[in-house]
Amino acid sequence: MRDRTFDPTDVAAGVIFILLGLAFGFSALGLEIGTSLRMGPGYAPLVLAGVLTLLGVLILASGLRSHPDEAIGPLAWRGAAFLLPAPILFGLTVRGLGFVPALFLATLLAAFASPRMKPWQALALAVTVTAFSTIVFSYALGLPFRRFGPWLAQ
């Protein structure tokens, strides 16, 4: 790693902060800024977006001047591919399919994020979690979920 002359984590963090700062700043330009006596809705956002962009530049600059002190390490590609869609799947199906099938599907999907999970284990886990949650959250705590939704009504 000695041949690298910049710290990739700092450079990436700096770029992300700059982009976010510019995005927030651009969005705040459409708002009324007001005066320091009567600040409009855009005053604080614009100032903060400016500060964020500036901090991004400083982090980027310091990243370009330093050596990487630690490798980024492996990335959880498989984890992200199965884990992140799980709450989305739950959100998309909880109304249509209802609480019970939506939770079952989401848990099953999340379970495959680990390579150690065997299919029969995932299935058993999803069934157990769904049964437990339905009893606790729906029956015992009385949260207002439809257990089975209109998509299954046919």
Partner 1 sequence: MDLLSNLALGFATAASPANLLFCLIGVILGTLIGVLPGIGATATIAMLLPITFQLEPVSSLIMLAGIYYGAQYGGSTTAILINMPGESSSAVTAIDGYQMARRGKAGTALAVAALGSFFAGSVATLLVALFAPPLTTVALKFGAAEYFSLMVLGLVCAVALAHGSFLKALAMVVLGLLLGLAGTDIYTGAPRFTLGLPELADGFNFVALAVGVFGIAEILRNLEGSQGSREVLGQRLGGLFPSRADLRAMVAPMLRGTMLGSILGVLPGGGAILASFGSYTIEKRLSATPEEFGRGAIAGVAGPESANNAGAQTSFIPLLTLGIPANPVMALMVGAMIIQGIVPGPNVATEQPDLFWGIIASMWIGNLMLIVLNLPLIGIWVKLLKVPYHILFPIIIAFSSIGVYSVKGNAFDLFAVAAFGLLGYVFLKLRCEPAPLLLGFVLGPLLEENLRRAMILGRGDPSVFLTRPISAALLALTLGVIAVMLMPRIRRKREEVFVAED
**How many angstroms separate the CA atoms of 80 and 83, rounded?**
5
- Per DSSP, the three-state class of 39 is strand
Quote the least distance from Cβ 121 to partner 1, whole Å: 8
Which 8-47 residues touch partner 1, going by CB under 8 A?
9-10, 12-13, 16-17, 20, 24, 27-28, 31-32, 35-45
Query: Are 23 and 17 spatial neighbours (Cβ–Cβ below 8 Å)?
Result: no
Euclidean distance between the first and the last CA atom of the chain, given in angstroms as a whole number: 62
Q: Pick from 6, 22, 114, 123 the residue near partner 1 by CB under 8 A.
A: 114
**How many angstroms separate the CA atoms of 91 and 145, rounded?**
12
What is the pattern of x (binds partner 1, CB under 8 A) and - over residues 53-92?
A: --xx-xx--x-------x-xxxxx-xxx--xxxxxx-xxx
Q: Pick from 19, 29, 51, 127 the residue near partner 1 by CB under 8 A.
A: 51
